Amino acid sequence: MVMAFTAAAIAMLVAMIPAAIVLCRGELAGSVVAYEFITSVIVMVLALLAQAFKRPSEFEFPVLMAVLLYGSSLVFIRALERWL
């Protein structure tokens, strides 16, 4: 069971590579979508790793990251808006 959660986390990390390329080289709308996708994947990967290593106390961190990354996405959009 541990391998299933770890394999899912690794697969999700590999899926972030195209989004990272779009984030760096894409236009504004594509960059925002890629940033939101990456933040969602990071939260899910952290939750999967907490489950894989059987550490329920570390589920607090992905929940906290979800809240904080939502706010940071608004700051990211605001900063990109100034460059237009």
Q: Going from the first residue of the chain to its last (84 residues), give the mean pLDDT of each consecutive group of 10, the final group possibly shorter.
A: 90 94 88 89 94 90 89 82 73
- Rounded to two decimals, the pTM is 0.82
Distances in whole angstroms, Cα of residue 35 to Cα of each of 22, 24, 39, 43, 52: 9, 10, 6, 13, 25
Q: How many domains does the chain have?
A: 1
Q: What is the pLDDT of residue 84?
A: 63
Residue whose C-alpha is closest to residue 33's, from 14, 17, 20: 20
Which domain range does residue 44 map to? 2-82
Query: How many CB atoms neighbour CB 18 within 10 A?
Result: 11
Instruction: Look over the chain and give the mean of its residue pLDDT values, rounded to a whole number.
Output: 89
Give residue 29's pLDDT. 83
